[in-house]
Each structure stands twice: as structure tokens, then as C-alpha cells.
Amino acid sequence: MSNDVDLFNGTAWYVVFLFSTTLHEASHALAAFKLGDDTAYRGGQVSLDPTPHIRREPFGMVIIPIVSYMLGGWMIGWASAPYDPNWARAYPKRAGWMAMAGPAANLALVLAAAFLIRLGIAVGFFETPDSVGFTHVVGAAHEGIPYLASVLLSLMFSLNLLLCVFNLLPVPPLDGSSLPLLFISEDAAVRYWEFMRSPAVRMVGLVVAWNVFGQLFHPLHLHAINLLYTGLGLHYGP
């Protein structure tokens, strides 16, 4: 692969990663602010400007994504939005809604990408691919802008599906571990929230998530693509 192609793909990856991660964390911050905790708001994180998010997590938002792409051709990284643990302890159900806001934002981007892909196909801007992959969800009808848009929308669809599914895994410290807070009593929610904050429990949760996610995501990704192209029965390319 040429250096120009590497640079193009790497830039596309990083643009989508940065926007998707920023929206995820900004959604956490906005939900917390609306529900009574202004910690992230005061930190400037109720914003689609990536600067405050990068300032808080420079390794997760800049260094690790770039290094992981250079070494493996894909990006991994992280970000975080601060919150007041006393607020979360006092209002565990509100903390649960705050946690769900991040994956919901990523799901919204998946749906937006799917809509734009179908619209692009309808107007002849894109074309249905013969086979699919993480970075190839839709094909371009022509070179130039259609190709650029097809790459960005493919990444937006796949990466945000990944972020949504991964963060919804029901293990701490991932957002999905907060889902039970919405359905249990206040007293039980307080005890559960304290349990989730245990460093040992969070470490075990990350190990479990890392080991099961690959087996879970690939069939879900392919199923989501086949929902996008109902009836075609697409498969991953070589």
C-alpha cells in the first residue's frame, strides 16, 4: 500500500474516531448537566470541540489511536467525562441515564450513516458492494468525493457500532454495567454502584470484555450490514 493511501486511510480513521469519541463523551457530559451534575460542563466537555476532551485524555485521544493505527492498521483509544461521585451516589438512576447517553450517541451515528448510505445509493452516488468489511460498508460509484464519502461513512457506521456495542457490555467500568441502575430500587442501586467502583471488579470486567467482544462483534457487524442491504446476504471479503 502506498504512503498516500496509508495517509488517506489513517486520516479518515482519525477524523471519524475523534468525532465519534467526542460526541460520546459530550453526550455523557450533557446528560449529567441536565440531570444535575455540572462537573463536565464546567470542564468544557459539553461540546463537540475535541480540544477539552483531548486535554483530559491526550494518550487515549491522540497518541494511542495513532500508534495503534501505525502498528496494526486500526485504531483503539479512549476518552472520559468527569462527574461528581457524590452526585452519582445520591442519584444512581440519574447516573445510569448519564451512562446510557454515550452509547445512544454512537447508535445515532450508526443510524445516520445508514440513512446517508441508502440515500447515496438511491441517487447514484454510492453502489452496493459485492463483499463488505469494517472499512468497506458501501462502494463509491465514482472516484473523488463519492469515494471519500464512502470511506468516511463506512467507518462511521462500523466504528460507532463497535463503540456502541462495546460500551454496552454489562461489565464495569463500561457504560452497560450501569443499565441495571435504571430498574432496581434506590437502596439496591446505591449498593450496586459502590460495587461497580471496586478497582478489582473493574479490572476483571475489562479482561472479560476484551475476551468476549471479538466473538460478539463480528457477527453483529455483519448482521447490521445485512439489515442495511436486506435480502442480499453479504459476506466479509477476503
Domain residue spans in the chain?
A: 3-228
Could you tell me which of 108, 103, 129 has the C-alpha nearest to residue 226? 129
Residue 182 near residue 91, CB atoms below 8 Å = no
pTM reported for the whole predicted model: 0.93
Question: Can you tell me the mean pLDDT for 183-206?
Answer: 88
pLDDT of 210 strictly over 90: no
Q: At 196, is the pLDDT very low, low, confident or very high (cuts 50, 70, 90)?
A: confident
Question: Can you tell me the mean pLDDT for 52-60?
Answer: 96
pLDDT of 151 strictly over 90: yes
pLDDT of residue 123: 96
Question: Can you tell me the mean pLDDT for 172-177?
Answer: 94
Q: At 214, is the pLDDT very low, low, confident or very high (cuts 50, 70, 90)?
A: confident
pLDDT of residue 231: 81
Question: Can you tell me the mean pLDDT for 40-55?
Answer: 96
Could you tell me which of 57, 77, 45 has the C-alpha nearest to residue 159? 77
pLDDT of 223 strictly over 70: yes
pLDDT of residue 4: 54
What is the grid cell recorded at 146?
Answer: 463519492
Phi, psi dihedral angles at 177 (to 5 degrees):
-65, -15
- Dihedral sign, Cα of residue 220, residue 221, residue 227, residue 230: negative
pLDDT digits (tens, 9 = 90+) for 17-35: 999 999 999 999 999 999 9
pLDDT of residue 177: 94
pLDDT of residue 197: 83
- Give the HSE-up count for residue 97: Cα atoms under 13 Å, Cβ half-sphere: 12
pLDDT of residue 156: 98
pLDDT of 111 strictly over 70: yes
User: Which has more pLDDT, 38 or 230?
Assistant: 38
Which residues, in sequence order, are bridge partners of residue 195?
none
Q: What is the largest CA-CA distance in the chain?
A: 59
pLDDT of residue 14: 97
pLDDT of residue 6: 79
Least confidently predicted of 44-48, 125-129, 182-186: 182-186
Question: Can you tell me the mean pLDDT for 99-121?
Answer: 98
